[in-house]
Amino acid sequence: MGAMQKLKGVMTNHSETRENHSEEELRSRYYKTTNKNAMKALQELFKTMDGATIKSVSEEHGEIAVQWTKGRKAFVIATVISVRPFETAVDFSVTTETKLLPFDFGYSRSLIKHMYDRIDKSMIYIGSGLNSGKK
Residue segments in the chain with a per-residue pLDDT below the cut of 50 = 135
pLDDT at 135: 47
pTM of the model: 0.87
What is the CATH code of the structural domain delimited by 3-128?
3.30.310.220
Backbone angles phi, psi at 111, to 5 degrees: -65, -40
Structure confidence at residue 42 (pLDDT): 97
Rounded distance between C-alpha atoms, residue 61 and residue 31, angstroms: 18
Residue spans of the domains in the chain: they are: 3-128
116-135: per-residue pLDDT in tens?
999 999 999 999 988 766 54
Dist CA 122 CA 81 (whole Å): 17
